[in-house]
Amino acid sequence: MKAYETVIGLEVHVELATKSKIFCSCTTLFGGDPNTHCCPVCTGMPGTLPVLNKQVVEYAIAAGLALNCSITRRCKFDRKNYFYPDLPKAYQISQLYLPICRDGGIEIETSAGKKTVRIHEIHMEEDAGKLIHDPWEDCTLVDYNRCGVPLIEIVSEPDMRSAEEVVAYLEKLRLILQYLGVSDCKMQEGSLRADINLSVREVGAIELGTRTEMKNMNSFKAIARAIEGERKRQIELLEYGKCVVQETRRWDDNKDTSFAMRSKEDAQDYRYFPEPDLLPIEISDEWLETIRSRQPELRDDKMLRYEKEFDIPSYDASIITGSKHLADLFEETVAICKKPKEVSNWLMVETMRLLKEQEMEAEDINFSPDHLAKLIEMVDQNKINRTVAKEVFEKIFKENIDPEEYVDKHGLGMVSDDGLLRSTIEKVIADNPQSVTDYKGGKSKAMGFLVGQTMKEMKGKADPGMVNQIVKELLDK
């Protein structure tokens, strides 16, 4: 078999986190009963007209700046005409001739090293509704709630060569957009959707091969599988002397395979032309500077700052900043308790363990920074020991309980009563003569056993320092 290279470009649709839709004042909230988040404008009723939501432009510019694009200072909307029941005007208001952002790029890092993926353009457009098939009535119904939700489409150059690079690009993109607050980027809810343009060619070839476009992947894992599958399919075709057909394919993650949707021959002519109902958008120096000045600290800068300001290892900083939500939680907790290392430890060890155990994403963490800060204080002030603290943290993680109340209610406070500890230890020593003999015979490990037995007897609440000290004292007597 010849050696092949895979060439991949991405079209990523991102739903913007504006409160209202792009051309009317309806809510953009996900879900809701069908056709309750719409009005005459977003359902394209006769005579209605679009009015642009300024926030959409600002979010698109913010994304463009963060992705190192040049901003088109006079951009326009165009109509993309096609018939489909989820598109009530029979045209989508989009941007073809003068997209708002052009010529950007971001750096990604994979096992193969660092590289830049160039971004061809970002354009603004409106989302379509959703078709729902009713198997009982055997009919198709339309829900227009999503109709008019603002989107940006980020079109990359064909600069990626592997699934790993694609995932790295998407992860980076997602983080940037989440940090900007322009989108929540939830693939399951469809607020981030990626179409993959993929072709293969012999290594060293200059011409690009014929590409296919793959749609309908709803997780990064599905994207990686779809790329792997499509790469193999195309190489196999070429190896058998066949041709790749330029077409759109639909990925079926359950069947782990893709199906042809439509070929280039049936490709529609969208008859784009300038949208006459909207004026061109003029982006002044002043407006652009205002948006630029509001850009938040992005992940790469934040990582460096954590290492420097909080003296946190770069690995930990990368994990914590790997989620905007986790980074926010970290900073809010540190702001309360002023113990960055402790906070980082709790997030890196216990939080990560529980996330894995519960099969959750960092975005799903739901406890308040107050409670973690309090817990850290309580350990620091010897109000509870670390064993109890772990137990309490699990409660915080799962139920967001107040650690002080919880410890009080369950009597988990640390026992430092010398008399009580001493009498308990005396009893433990009396019950375990063999360990005492072992200790006296030079087996220092035996002391650990006795300490453990004491903690057990005390239901884990004993002050571990004092227990150690008293056990040693009594044994050495």
**Given the rule CB under 8 A, which of 83-91, 255-263, 287-295, 433-441 is the region that contacts other proteins?**
83-91
Segment 116-145, which members bind other proteins (CB under 8 A)? Answer: 142
> From CA 289, how far away is CA 281, in angstroms rounded?
16
> From CA 205, how far away is CA 3, in angstroms rounded?
11
* Nearest CA-CA partner of 318 in 328, 334, 308, 306: 306
Instruction: Classify residue 216 by burial, with Cβ atoms within 10 Å: 0-12, 13-18, 19+.
Output: middle
| Nearest approach, Cβ of residue 282 and other proteins (Å) | 13
How are strands ordered across the β-sheet holding 192-202?
A: 70-71, 101-110, 113-126, 150-156, 4-15, 192-202, 212-215, 247-252, 257-263
> From CA 381, how far away is CA 138, in angstroms rounded?
66
* Nearest CA-CA partner of 375 in 385, 365, 362, 364: 385
The answer to whether 154 and 67 have CB atoms below 8 angstroms apart is yes
Q: Of 29, 141, 279, 349, which one interacts with other proteins (CB under 8 A)? A: 279
Segment 88-107, which members bind other proteins (CB under 8 A)? Answer: 88-91
**Given the rule CB under 8 A, which of 44-52, 206-214, 257-265, 326-334 is the region that contacts other proteins?**
44-52
> From CA 34, how far away is CA 38, in angstroms rounded?
9
Return the structure tokens found at 443.
């087996």
**Given the rule CB under 8 A, which of 64-72, 81-89, 172-180, 361-369 is the region that contacts other proteins?**
81-89
Query: How big is the site for other proteins, counted in residues (CB under 8 A)?
Result: 28
| Nearest approach, Cβ of residue 191 and other proteins (Å) | 26
| Nearest approach, Cβ of residue 54 and other proteins (Å) | 12
Q: Of 241, 276, 411, 441, which one interacts with other proteins (CB under 8 A)? A: 276
Q: Which is nearer to other proteins, 64 or 88 (CB)?
A: 88
Q: Which is nearer to other proteins, 262 or 409 (CB)?
A: 262
Q: Which is nearer to other proteins, 235 or 283 (CB)?
A: 283
Residue 246 DSSP symbol: P
Q: Of 11, 52, 235, 298, which one interacts with other proteins (CB under 8 A)? A: 52
Q: How far is CA 434 from CA 158, 179, 471, 472, 474, in A?
A: 72, 60, 15, 16, 15
Q: Of 9, 44, 64, 403, which one interacts with other proteins (CB under 8 A)? A: 44
The answer to whether 18 and 183 have CB atoms below 8 angstroms apart is no
Q: Which is nearer to other proteins, 96 or 354 (CB)?
A: 96
Q: Which is nearer to other proteins, 282 or 359 (CB)?
A: 282
| Nearest approach, Cβ of residue 145 and other proteins (Å) | 15
**Given the rule CB under 8 A, which of 114-122, 195-203, 246-254, 268-276 is the region that contacts other proteins?**
268-276
Q: Of 55, 81, 210, 257, which one interacts with other proteins (CB under 8 A)? A: 81
Instruction: Classify residue 114 by burial, with Cβ atoms within 10 Å: 0-12, 13-18, 19+.
Output: exposed
Owner of token pair 């056990």: 471
Contact call for residue 278 and other proteins (CB under 8 A): yes
Segment 207-266, which members bind other proteins (CB under 8 A)? Answer: none
Q: Of 54, 242, 271, 440, which one interacts with other proteins (CB under 8 A)? A: 271
3-state secondary structure 253-278: CCCCEEEEEEEHHHCCCCCCEECCCC
Q: Which is nearer to other proteins, 34 or 464 (CB)?
A: 34
Segment 12-41, which members bind other proteins (CB under 8 A)? Answer: 40
Q: Which residues bind other proteins (CB under 8 A)?
A: 40, 43-52, 79, 81, 83, 85, 88-91, 142, 269, 271-273, 276-279
